[in-house]
Amino acid sequence: MASVETMTALSPAAVNSASLPLLDPRAPVGIFDSGLGGLSVLRAVRAQLPDEALVYVADSLYAPYGERDDDFIADRTLAIGEWLVAQGAKALVVACNTATAQSIALVREKLPIQLIGVEPGVKPAAQQSKTRVAGVLATRVTLRSARFQDLLERYASDCRFLCQPGLGLVEAVERCDIGSAELRALLQSYLQPMLDAGADTLVLGCTHYPFLDAAIRDIVGDRLALIDTSIAIARQLERVLDQQGLRSPARDASPQPRFCSTSDGAHLKQLAATLLDIDAPVERVHIPSRRTLTPDSHAA
């Protein structure tokens, strides 16, 4: 089955163009997700931009965002963005479709660095589908968002999109379950109706879902082409850094990513080792916000 590694990334024109502080090209890029799904983006960024230092933050204590209210998502996204700015980040990748859909505009207005958000790959799916039927797996928040509805209106005029909330999938990845019998049964229940309806393309509308690629392939074989998100995000980051003169100079070796989690970080460490072959410590960090005034963790 073909895997189409492309997506709808926010265009350079959509990135904050306000006056930016003088930044060091060797400063890190922040990558943020509600949990572990953004590791798929980190993997692509490391491949595309091996000289960049990266700081990855998983807000695992409050994951998944897909079942949270919009204000909570915006509150956490802004707080973590501000924390990454304080850590010296020169750019921020919001590697979470749910956070992008609900809060990217607000956060872009308030942070003094460039932001790169993500969107489900509706456009490439519509361009590619031969049967004119495509499936979308995404969180409920993403599917109900105005941003997603706008994507459908713009690109799906002659293509039928079957939108399925991926209930339970983020939680499975968060606990490092990417192939159990229970997970496969859940995926089967989501994917079979798409196959029965004639879909030939599947949009992975959450950055957690690429880690379920093998399980999905086992179920659908070559009947669905997958629209992944991560590589296009990495290329978008490359364009933004080049435009701003912030691309890191060459280094003798690729820097080891810095991993941070608002939870204990055990699953983050396990997934990074299992799927990225990176054995690195995880810092437990406390990032307070208006909606989480009670201390949720302690600094490592």
What average pLDDT does range 45-55 have in this prediction? Answer: 97
**Of the options 3.40.50.2300, 3.40.718.10, 3.40.50.1860, 3.60.20.10, the CATH number for the domain spanning 28-118+231-284:** 3.40.50.1860
Q: Supply the pLDDT for residue 122.
A: 93
Q: How far apart are CA 293 and CA 49, in angstroms?
A: 37
Q: What is the pLDDT of residue 12?
A: 35
Answer left, alpha or beta for residue 245, where phi above 0 means left and psi between -120 and 50 means alpha: left
- As annotated, the active-site residues are 96, 206
What is the mean predicted confidence (pLDDT) over 39-52? 96
User: Any idea what the Cα angle at residue 269 is, between residues 272 and 297, rounded to 5°?
Assistant: 135
What are 238-284's pLDDT values in tens digits?
999 999 999 999 999 999 999 999 999 999 999 999 889 999 999 99
Structure tokens at 236: 């978008």
pLDDT of residue 21: 62
* Sequence spans of domains, the chain: 28-118+231-284, 122-229
- Dump pLDDT digits (tens) for 213-248: 999 999 999 999 999 878 889 999 999 999 999 999
**Tell me, what amino acid is at 253?**
A
Answer yes or no: same fold for 28-118+231-284 and 122-229: yes
The pLDDT tens digits for 184-201 are 999 999 999 999 999 999
pTM tops 0.85: no
pLDDT for position 102: 87
* C-alpha distances out from residue 6 to 19, 207, 231, 250, Å: 30, 13, 6, 26
- Predicted local confidence at residue 2, as pLDDT: 43
Burial (CB < 10 A; 0-12, 13-18, 19+), residue 42, is buried
Q: Is the pLDDT of residue 298 over 50?
A: no
Q: Is 201 helix (H, G, I), strand (E, B) or coil?
A: strand
Indicate whether 1 pLDDT > 90: no
Q: What is the pLDDT of residue 20?
A: 53
CATH of 122-229, one of 3.90.1710.10, 3.40.50.1860, 3.10.20.30, 3.30.110.40: 3.40.50.1860
The pLDDT > 70 percentage for the chain reads: 91
